[in-house]
Structures are given as structure tokens and as C-alpha cells.
Amino acid sequence: MQKNIGSILFVASFALSGVLSGCHAQESKPVGVATPPVSSIATPADGQAGAPLVTGLPDFTRLVDFVAPAVVNIQVSEKIQSQSIPDMRDHPICQIWPDVPICNIRPATPNGKAPTERVSGQGSGFITSSDGYILTNHHVVDGASTLTVILPDKREFKAKVIGSDERTDVAVLKIEATGLPFLKMANSDKLRVGEWVMAAGSPFGLKNTITAGVISAINRDTGDYVSFIQTDAAVNPGNSGGPLVNMSGEVIGINSQILSPSGAFSGVALAIPINEALKVAEQLRAHGKVEHGRIGVGIAPVTEENMQSLGLSKAQGVVITQVESDSPAAQGGLNVGDVVTRINEVSIESVGDFARTIGDAKPGTVLPLEVWREKRSVNLSVTVGKAK
């Protein structure tokens, strides 16, 4: 045992000596003597690695340099009820007992009035023209008394709401500035699942933040008016209104929602397709509001359970569950129990399809409907009315 321990100590001493001498003898190493590389990873058993399917990960640095200057932070202020805060120092009680807690309260301002505005939230947005038009979400600016747009170069501008639409969650702002960097728009109808994307904004107030991921799904129907782009690029509170861009730096969507039990990112984020947002923005810039179509019906989905009783071969279209009297639907001949399968020669696959198609139609537009009634196809026409 002693002999073994002695051998071990000798080896350890020799190894330590080699380490120490190596640290001090680097400068005296002969020029041109190379140390052969040593690999600690075993060679695969078959001696041949498989051909790589991915040759490299994307480098987002140039993309960030291109996109970031046009992404803004939006601070939202709201009015609060002004109230008088009396100065208790001169009150007789405080003259006697100055240490009473109420005697230490001081007015918020010299005149005894509380501030009339306070910062209530923040979000993101992006510049769409050099003269200061900005796209963001309706829910970012809703209820705001003052909006402050902060550029990446730290300049601040008061913003005016040109128009805002709750149903699509799109808003257009304007700041008084020129020569601003701005982003170009992509065609969101040509997106494919699996494409790399980058989200930019101010999550949790952390300005100039970017995250990356892929398009997880398109035409994601969540029951809202808009059919979303789904992505796994991290989006959190404060990202709302910021751009989702492709690898060319073009905007494909406006970051709008996250699906999460905790309120923070859990792997699923939703963006408004930019094609839909631009349709809304055009009306907001022209009229300050959006006129959505309406025909006055209640609807329900066609499901696997009820399609056979309706005489359909697949779960497609929507069932009319209610028709308002004197509504465009009633005047067009729609009845309760009808199944609308096509509108303007476009297939209706879901409740969301129906709502968007009718809602996007301008009031006064005549829409041809293909209806399944009593196990046969019927063609009707409905003149779209204006949503209230």
C-alpha cells in the first residue's frame, strides 16, 4: 500500500511540476514547434459522420441593425382624478403631536393638487413612413390621454392617434418628424410554416429587445376576429404592437397576443398578419375609423357531430342560428337552419372565416352566398349593412 501511495505521489508531483514549468516556459518554446491538436471526443464507431442537414444557424446581427432603428417604445399616460392633499403641519393637532403619522403627509405639489396624469402602461410600435406614421395595437393606446413615442436614439415625441380599431386590434399613430427610418411590408399571404422570424419591441419595458424563432402556424383561429400568425419567438407584455419580421427585414405581422397560463411567454405568440393590418390602416388614415360589415345573423360551427344530420359530407361552413327581423340577412332570404358554405365563391371553413368575410366587406356590397338548405344547394345574395 505504501509503495502504491509513493508511486501516486511521485506521479502527481511530476504532473504538477510539468504544469508549473509549462506556465513559465512558454516564451522559451522553440519557434515553429507546433503542438498537435488533441481531441477528447471519440471517433464514431463506423468512422463516418452523417451528412449535416443544417450547415449553420442564422446570424441576426445585420437584420437587427436594419430593423431596430424603426422600432419604437410607446409610453401611455392616463388622466387620474385630481384631488386636494392638505398640508397637515399647521393643523392644531399636529402642533401638539407632530409625530402623528398624518402630520407627516406633504402635498404632492406646492398647490396641494395631485398629478392629473400618470404613466399607466407601455407597448411597442414601428415606423411605416419617413414622415412619422406608426403602426401599433389598439389595446396599447386604448384609453390613453397622452402617448409618448421614444425612438431608439432616445428622442421623444408626443403622438396623435389617427385612428384605432378594437375589432382588429390595429391603431395608427403620427408623430411630427421627418427623415425617419421605416420598415417595408411583406406579403403575409405567402408565409410558410417553419420560416425564421424575429420579433422586436420592449418586453417588460426593456427597450430595443429582439427575440427569434420560427412561424409555428398560419391562419390560427382563436375565436377572435383576426386569423393569426403563430410563432415561437418570445413575446411578452410590452412587445404588443411591435413588428414580426422575416429574414429580409420586412414586416409580416404585428405582435398582438400570447397564449399563456401565467401571463408571460410560454412558447406560443400570435401576430396580426400585416396584409390584414394594412387594410385596416388604410381606412384609419383615410377616415379615422373602420366600417365593418354586418348582415344580422347568429351563427354556429358545423361539427363532426351535426354534419350528418345536416346532410353534409364534411364539417364545413356555419349554421345560421338566428336571423334578425328586417336585417340584410332576412331581406336576402337567409333562414334559421341554413348552412353557409361559400361567400363570394370562397369556401367558408369556420366561424372565423364567416365573421372576417362579412366584417371586411364594405357596407352596401352585394355578396353572393352558397347555402345548404334541406340537403340541397341554394344560391342567395345579401347586401351588407353597417356594424353598429
- Using one digit for the tens of pLDDT, what is the confidence trace for 263-312? 889 999 999 999 999 999 999 999 999 999 999 999 998 988 888 888 88
Output the pLDDT for position 72.
Answer: 98
Q: Tell me, rounded to whole angstroms, the distance of Cα 202 from its chain centroid.
A: 11
- Work out the number of other CB atoms within 10 angstroms of the CB of residue 153: 7
| C-alpha cell read off for 267 | 412558447
> In the prediction, which pLDDT does 47 show?
58
How far apart are alpha carbons 83 and 81 in whole angstroms?
6
What pLDDT score does 11 carry?
Answer: 41
pLDDT for 117: 76
Report the domain count for the chain: 2
Q: Which residues of 312-334 are buried (b: 16+ CB within 10 A; e: fewer)?
A: beebbbbbbeebeeebbbbbbeb
Domain for residue 43, yes or no? no
Q: Are strands 293-294 and 339-343 parallel, antiparallel or unpaired?
A: unpaired
What is the spatial distance between Cα 113 and Cα 118, in angstroms, rounded to a whole number? 14
Assess whether 263 and 220 both reside in one domain.
yes
**Which stretches in the chain have pLDDT values below 70?**
1-55, 81-91, 93-115
Same domain, 274 and 332: no
What is the DSSP code string of 37-54?
Answer: P---SPPPTTS-PPPPS-
252 within some domain: yes
- pTM summary value: 0.74
| 233 within some domain | yes
Q: Give the domain range for residue 252.
A: 188-287
**In this structure, are residues 300 and 338 in contact, taking their beta carbons and an 8 Å threshold?**
no
Among residues 287, 306, 327, the one where a domain terminates is 287
CA dihedral 302, 305, 307, 313 (to 10 degrees): 120
pLDDT score for 254: 98
- CA distances for 219 relative to 14, 215, 227, angstroms: 68, 11, 5
Positions annotated as catalytic residues are: 139, 169, 240
**283 and 331 fall within a common domain:** no
Residue 370 to residue 349: CA distance in whole angstroms: 13
Q: Give the end of a domain, one of 270, 287, 304.
A: 287
Residues 6+ apart with CB under 8 A from 201: 71, 73, 123, 124, 209, 235, 238, 239, 240, 241, 242, 243, 255
Residue 53: inside a domain:
no
Let me know if residue 96 belongs to a domain: no
Can you read off the three cell numbers belonging to residue 286? 383615410
- Coil, helix or strand at residue 361: coil
Residues 280, 227 within the same domain: yes
Task: Assess if residue 165 is contained within a domain.
Answer: no
| Cell output for 292 | 365593418
pLDDT of residue 57: 76
Last residue of a domain, which of 287, 311, 339? 287
Q: Coil, helix or strand for 186? A: coil
